[in-house]
Amino acid sequence: MISVAAALCVLSMAPGEAAAKGEQTLTGLRGIRWGMSVSEAIALFDRSVLVQQTKTSISGCYVRHAIPIRLLDEDWSIWLCEAPDQAVVTALNFETENRHTEHFDAFLAAFTEAYGPAHSYWHTCHNVNWNKTVQYDWYFPEMRVSLVDRDAPANWVVMRYEPPSDKVEYGPGVCIEPPLDLRRDAAPD
């Protein structure tokens, strides 16, 4: 079992807590680097599961392979997101095996402790079922970290780690307002 604090340390950062808050370089999980082959990433763990035979995009992640882990007494998988045309790692999605977790608040508290307040907080969004969705994002020179509740009533949570990009972000579903910067703005009640 991995604690919340240990879960955050799974993606190690430059030495010292102040380094993350100071936006220093973040590094990958157990040596995973953006652009490395999926087979090399799997070899770092000595285990993997096949998510799907044909690589298709699920929630913005072209995925075939995942690393099973146990996190806070729940079964999770680290999806090895790939480029559409190559078997290289482009992002990591931490996905619950049963699409449900009671630990969103614990993850948010731990991420805020490790990274400081979120750079963006999407709070006025809903999914196709009209259920509330929220997303917290932290931006660093070599990584973007996102904590997303895709369906608040169902507690369908994903943690995503990816390199920075210039793509326009529209939030986790249909969003009525732009995100808040929690380093500058107060979170609504």
AA identity, residue 81: C
Alpha helices, DSSP H, located in 14-170: 17-21, 38-43, 104-115
112 inside domain: yes
Q: Which domain holds residue 65?
A: 4-175
27 located within any domain:
yes
Is the Cα dihedral 43, 45, 47, 48 positive or negative?
negative
Residue 181 lies in a domain: no
Number of domains in the chain: 1
Residue 94 covered by a domain:
yes
Tell me the average pLDDT of the chain. Answer: 82
Q: What is the pLDDT of residues 138-160, one digit of tens each?
A: 998 888 999 999 999 888 899 99
- Average pLDDT of the residues in 163-185: 88
What 3-state class would DSSP assign to 121?
strand
Domain-embedded: residue 33: yes
Q: What is the pLDDT of residues 8-52, one digit of tens each?
A: 444 433 333 333 433 333 345 677 888 999 999 999 888 898 888
Distance CA 130, CA 128 (A): 5
Give domain status of residue 182, yes or no.
no
Q: Is the pTM of this model over 0.85?
A: no
With respect to residue 11, please indicate whether it lies within any of the assigned structural domains.
yes
| Within a domain: 189 | no
**How would residue 189 be classed by pLDDT, with cut points 50, 70 and 90?**
low
